[in-house]
Amino acid sequence: MIIDKKSQFHTTEELIIWLPRIIVIAVIAGIVFFLITMPIKQNFQIDKLQQGILMQRFVYSENCLAYKENDRIYPGIIDSNKFNDQNLRNCFQANNNVGIRLNLITNEVNTVNLNDRLTEKFDFCFDKKHFTCSNYNYYVLINDNNEIKTGLLNINMIKIK
Amino acid sequence: MKKGESALTFVFSLIFLAVILSIFYVLFLLSSANRTNYVINEVNLGNVNINLINYLRTPITDNKKIFDLILESYYINNYEDLEKITNNIFNKIYNADKCPLWRITGEINNERFFDYESEFDIKKYTLNPGPRNIIHIFTDKSLITRTSSLNLIIPDPNKKLKITLKEGCINE
């Protein structure tokens, strides 16, 4: 392909003349793009909300830990017989993205881990980019064969983002 | 000359490309900084505070619960036991590292008759005098508070009892 010297010179000259105009057009296009996309860039983080609801399930649901007597459920009162691995696994319906460690603290500490693959990773909670963690203490009353004791239910939760 | 002109065109094309890319990069950064981040931690609708309910129904003796002790303290005007037991319970529930704030108040006919709270250092959660203050108005840790109240029926029909618990936990 043969291009003569004159046309090459004209191309360069044209480019120099058009350069400021193209930059102005690019800036305007960019500003329009910026203004259009700005209002729709909203990010909702509901990980903590999800964890809060999951935590409440343990103290509110009769299928989890809530004590039930004569068809009445007592949210916040824990049936000591329900605090076992099998019952809590059934109640939690293992979610692969969530790991939970429950500590029932009275004179002694009873611990149940749900989803061991994740509960081993509590040490990585500092990595907020990949994990969301929650830790909350419920002050609970424990019905231990019709005897009421007080204690703390510590729920430690980790979720992969 | 042919060679020189061709090189000039090439150089100007590169400058042009660099300028356009820089403009879009700056606008992209500006646009990212404007992203709105909503963090929803909890929904309080119909959410009864288990800690408050359980506090009130904590048995002290076989026939006496904290709720009874509150009324008894009010009528005999002696709050010594109530203060001791309340501090003991709430300091155990809310440990100073994660939930440093708790405050419980009791009102009868809108008149406060007891008010206990944690030893809470507000300075930790207000303006940080450090140089990062330009960007972060608050420290990295912020305190999320939640207030729950219960209106309770007492034997005296002319009086209304209201117990309020405020708790503040750190959101990291």
Residues A149 and A72 reside in one and the same domain: yes
pTM: 0.72
Contact with chain B for residue A78, Cβ under 8 A: no
b vs e for B79-116, b when ≥16 Cβ sit within 10 Å of the residue's Cβ? Answer: beebeeebbebbeebbeeeebbbbbbbbbbeeeeebeb
Residues A32 and A68 reside in one and the same domain: no
Q: In sequence order, which residues have a C-beta less than 8 Å from that of residue A144 and are 6 or more positions away?
A: A80
Contact with chain B for residue A109, Cβ under 8 A: no
Give the bridge partners for A42, in sequence order.
B36
Read off the pLDDT band of A34 (50, 70, 90): confident
Angle between helices A47-60 and A85-92 (to 10 degrees): 130
The secondary structure of chain A as a DSSP string is ----HHHHHHHHHHHHHHHHHHHHHHHHHHHHHHHHHGGG-EEEE-HHHHHHHHHHHHHH-TTTTEEEETTEEEEEEEEGGG-SHHHHHHHHT--TTEEEEEEEESSSEEEEEESHHHHTTGGGTT-TTTEEEEEEEEEEEEEETTEEEEEEEEEEEEEE-
- Count of CB atoms situated within 10 Å of the CB of A111: 14
Residues A33 and A101 reside in one and the same domain: no
Q: Is residue A50 part of a domain?
A: no
Contact with chain A for residue B153, Cβ under 8 A: no
User: Strand A131-144 relative to strand A109-114: parallel, antiparallel, unpaired?
Assistant: unpaired
Query: ipTM greater than 0.85, yes or no?
Result: no
Rg of chain A (C-alpha set): 30
Residues A18 and A96 reside in one and the same domain: no
Q: Which one of A124-128, B108-112, B136-140 scores highest in mean pLDDT?
A: B108-112
Residues A31 and A80 reside in one and the same domain: no
Tell me whether residues A43 and B169 touch, CB distance under 8 A. Answer: no
Closest partner residue to A139 (CB to CB) among B31, B47, B54 is: B54
Closest partner residue to B36 (CB to CB) among A33, A43, A150 is: A43
Residues A75 and A35 reside in one and the same domain: no
Residues A94 and A27 reside in one and the same domain: no
Dump strand ranges (E) for B59-132: 101-108, 111-117
Residues A100 and A134 reside in one and the same domain: yes
Residues A69 and A111 reside in one and the same domain: yes
Residue A119: what residue type?
T
Q: Is residue A23 part of a domain?
A: yes
Q: Is residue A14 part of a domain?
A: yes
Give how far B35 is from chain A: nearest CA, Å. 5
Q: Is residue A24 part of a domain?
A: yes
> How many domains are there within chain A?
2
Residues of B in contact with A137 (CB under 8 A): 93-95, 99
Q: What is the pLDDT of residues A121-146, one digit of tens each?
A: 888 888 888 888 888 899 999 998 88
Contact with chain A for residue B49, Cβ under 8 A: no
Q: Is residue A33 part of a domain?
A: yes
Residues A108 and A145 reside in one and the same domain: yes
Residues A78 and A136 reside in one and the same domain: yes
**pLDDT value, residue A143:** 93
Closest partner residue to A43 (CB to CB) among B5, B31, B35 is: B35
Domain that holds residue A75: 64-160
Contact with chain B for residue A16, Cβ under 8 A: yes
Closest partner residue to B24 (CB to CB) among A30, A42, A49 is: A30
Give how far A20 is from chain B: nearest CA, Å. 9
Is residue B56 within 8 A of residue B65, CB to CB? The reply is yes
Of all residues in chain B, the one with the smallest CA distance to A127 is B172
Residues A74 and A149 reside in one and the same domain: yes
Q: What is the pLDDT of residues A50-96, one digit of tens each?
A: 888 888 889 998 999 999 998 899 999 999 999 999 999 888 876 78
